[in-house]
Chains A and B, each alone.
Chain A
Amino acid sequence: MAKDILSTPKSFYKEFFRKPDADKTNTHYCPGCGHGVIHKLLAEAIEDFGIADRTIIISPVGCSVFAYYYFDTGNVQVAHGRAPAVATGLKRANPNSIVISYQGDGDLAAIGGNNILQAANRGENITVIFVNNAIYGMTGGQMAPTTLIGQKTTTTPYGRAAANEGYPIRICELLSALSGPVYLARGAITDPATIMKTRLAIRKAIKAQMDYKGFSLVEILSPCPSGWRMTPVEAKKWVKEQMVKIFPLGTFKDETKEREPIAYEKREYTKEEIKQALGLDKEAPHFSHSMDDVKPIWRNPKIKISGFGGQGVLLLGNTLAEAGMEQGYHVSWIPSYGPEMRGGTANCHVQISTSEIASPVVDHPSILVAMNLPSLDRFEDDVVPGGLIIYNTSLVTRAPKRTDIESIPIPATDIADKLGSLKVANMVVLGAIIEKTGIVTEEAAISALNTVVKHKKFIPLNIEAIKSGREYVRNL
């Protein structure tokens, strides 16, 4: 691989055509800035691996916001700190692309702290180049999470104090506590020897991604002569003498050999397979039914079903509506959802109608099912005159006060208990509704159960409960 001539890597643009000023061959970086060196190491690796065509480099917010001026690769510019999240999207969309997130310390360790932590923890198959210069360069030299104790910046004008600003964050050490990352290393660019080590680390990190091994990150201690108010040579010295003490160089994790490659499946599914997966490959059953056979007051019923959470009132409503649909009607079902689902009272509104349903809200039910006393107390007055109240006498200790309605008392919970499960009290009531009103047929209800009930082994018991409910009402 050794080349006889060292010159501009080919994965840099020959001319920086996106750079707005007249100078299209120099970078926008200050003299002695570490970004230039790191760009060069990265560009050289991309060229040597022959991956420029499939590489996407993410330009962050920071001095390297314009990294896309330089790299002749795919380029995506992103919001402050969000590069690992964007990289995740890019990579998951096209797993064969090589995604390199280039980030500074404020971007990665402050505003984007959780994003890097989580991407690393997922073992996201991306490579992160983390440029740590202990300062916010682009915005004029404010404190970064990696600023050293005592270091003066424009927002720590008296020096960073641990008591106020806390301590410099060591990202490599932090991330090495996670199982996700496959390769973590910290390098510097202070002298030829460290530069060559950093060069190798970058290559190792990219190679890990090329081999589908997972998350790799190289942190690079980098001089910011302008931000530090130093000459380039002084700045380099400061990295070596001050930063390295706090941010020791080395490899923090390397599981590139033992880690199994991530497998990707890329196949387009046929329309038939998609329909099957979504359960759209079968037509819903159809049952004939006529509302004309139903007593006028219960035609196109507006139903409210109410009880304790756990009494299956939502499932009862769902089954009724599903059966209504299978009979060819317009139907709607809405739950009262939220905390009520978790132990309090629950209710749902169901409509079955020969015409389009405008409001799915049932304020004045023509059929009220009260599975417990609070439900009867709360909704009795809302029932339309001539309407029907079915109430569960196992739990409801009084009869409805209204005299302008019809009512059916049924010990649904006791009947269910005798059948072997308190849970089917709702289906006992369904049987009562079928027997009394005929708004749905038993056949349609049983068919609906097959769609609605998740555990098919419970269906026979549910059917038995429906039949018991019917029988009870028939014998009233």
Chain B
Amino acid sequence: MPTKGYMEVDPNHCKGCGLCIEACPEDCIEFSSEINRLGYHPARYKGEGCIGCGFCFYTCPEPNAITVYKKGKEVA
């Protein structure tokens, strides 16, 4: 079932700056405990709460790191 919104962080394109976490009005993004190929703790979606506002997308400086599905996404 599609949720209200959905966001994804590509862990290999995140430099762990934390700006998306700061910008998220729903507090639904956090740092992962994993270390990615660039040597950062990437951001990740907590899994629920996304309203599809896109704030994280626009604050993210990496072109390929964040995708936001405003109307949600089929979750496997």
**Any A–B CB pair closer than 8 Å:** yes
- Using CB atoms and an 8 Å cutoff, list the residues of chain A in contact with chain B: 2-9, 12, 23, 25-27, 29-37, 39-41, 43, 70, 189, 191-192, 195-196, 199, 225, 231-233, 236
Say whether, besides A5-B69, A25-B13, A26-B38, A233 and B63 are in contact (CB < 8 Å).
no
Say whether, besides A31-B16, A32-B19, A192-B55, A12 and B67 are in contact (CB < 8 Å).
no
B58-76, CB under 8 A of A: which get 1 and which 0? 1111111011111100000
| Extra A-B contacts (8), CB below 8 Å, given A5-B70, A30-B15, A31-B61 | A4-B70, A26-B15, A27-B61, A32-B15, A32-B19, A39-B63, A192-B53, A232-B19
Chain A residue numbers with a CB within 8 Å of B25 are 192
- Measured CB to CB, the closest approach of chain B to A199, in angstroms, equals 7
Residue of B whose beta carbon sits closest to that of A232 = B17
CA distance A41 to B54 in the complex (A): 13
Residue of A whose beta carbon sits closest to that of B23 = A192
The answer to whether A233 touches B38, judged by C-beta atoms less than 8 angstroms apart, is no
CA distance A232 to B71 in the complex (A): 29
Partner of B64, one of A25, A35, A37: A25
Listed from nearest, the 4 A-B pairs whose CB atoms lie closest are: A36-B61, A32-B17, A31-B15, A232-B17
Q: Is B49 an interface residue (CB 8 A)?
A: no
Partner of B17, one of A31, A192, A199: A31
Chain A residue numbers with a CB within 8 Å of B55 are 192
- Measured CB to CB, the closest approach of chain B to A48, in angstroms, equals 14
Chain A residue numbers with a CB within 8 Å of B12 are 25
CA distance A444 to B73 in the complex (A): 91
Residue of A whose beta carbon sits closest to that of B72 = A4
Total interface residues on B, CB under 8 Å, equals 29
The answer to whether B13 touches A6, judged by C-beta atoms less than 8 angstroms apart, is no
The answer to whether B67 touches A5, judged by C-beta atoms less than 8 angstroms apart, is yes
Say whether, besides A4-B70, A36-B61, A199-B58, A233 and B13 are in contact (CB < 8 Å).
no
23 A-B residue pairings within 8 Å (CB atoms): A2-B70, A3-B70, A6-B58, A6-B67, A6-B70, A8-B64, A9-B63, A25-B64, A26-B15, A26-B64, A30-B15, A32-B17, A35-B61, A36-B63, A37-B58, A37-B59, A37-B61, A40-B60, A41-B58, A43-B63, A192-B59, A233-B17, A233-B22
Partner of B58, one of A5, A29, A195: A195
The answer to whether A36 touches B62, judged by C-beta atoms less than 8 angstroms apart, is yes
Chain A residue numbers with a CB within 8 Å of B54 are 6
- Measured CB to CB, the closest approach of chain A to B65, in angstroms, equals 8
Of A29, A70, A192, the most chain B CB neighbours within 10 A belong to A192
Residue of B whose beta carbon sits closest to that of A15 = B64
